[in-house]
Structure 1
């Protein structure tokens, strides 16, 4: 597993999926999303993958990130949190995403879901 640490998040790369953990007090802006997308593009190089965002800490999200450049090989998106408010926000986000999108309360469930796409 490869790990990349940025000032606002950590990325944990696996063969089938990447886990994104935003730092406490940071925000997902269009600019940050563009930088992360470039890193994902470079790492996966056209190979299909799932993005799992493990929301350990509350953070703001500019919903316009869903209108930005989305990688065609990002075939699914999962949100992990045990916070009911995050589940409500995920419902808003789901309407903005065209591919597989789901919500889990544990990282293990999300990773099992992600790997099931590649079995």
Structure 2
């Protein structure tokens, strides 16, 4: 396991999945998305993984990031939040993602889902 703290987020890398937690008043932009993707690419080096975004704090997302560089080895995407507004936003994001995509209220449920890809 490895953890990286950036000015706008924390990234936790586990064997088969990564967890992103954005910080308060931060945003996913094309620039921050590229930096996150670079870290994912460097850590997983072509190995399949699932990406979990644990949305503890409200933050903006430029939906154009889904048109950017998507790693072919990222086989699933989960959003975790108890905020009903995040469920609405996830419904906008889901059609932009071609692989497995789901929403959870609890992080442990998302982690179990991620691990199910590798059983």
- Mark yes or no: TM-score above 0.5: yes
The two structures have a TM-score, normalised by structure 1, of 0.99
- Shift of the alpha carbon at 1:61? 0.2
Q: CA RMSD in A?
A: 0.4
Match of residue 118 from structure 1: 118
In structure 2, stretches of 5+ residues that fail to align are none
For structure 1, list consecutive stretches of 5 or more residues without a partner in the other structure: none
- Deviating 4+ runs (over 3 angstroms): none
* Matched residue, 1:9: 9
Q: Deviations over 1:64-109 (max 9, x none)?
A: 0000000000000000000100000000000100000000000000
3-state DSSP class of the match of 2:50?
strand
Distance, in Å, in 2 between the alignment partners of 1:15 and 1:94 is 25
Equivalent residues, number: 119
Partners of 1:50 and 1:41 in 2: CA distance: 12
Is 1:38 aligned to residue 33 of structure 2? no
Distance in 2 separating the partners of 1:112 and 1:3? 20
Question: Partners of 2:107 and 2:36 in 1: how far apart?
Answer: 20
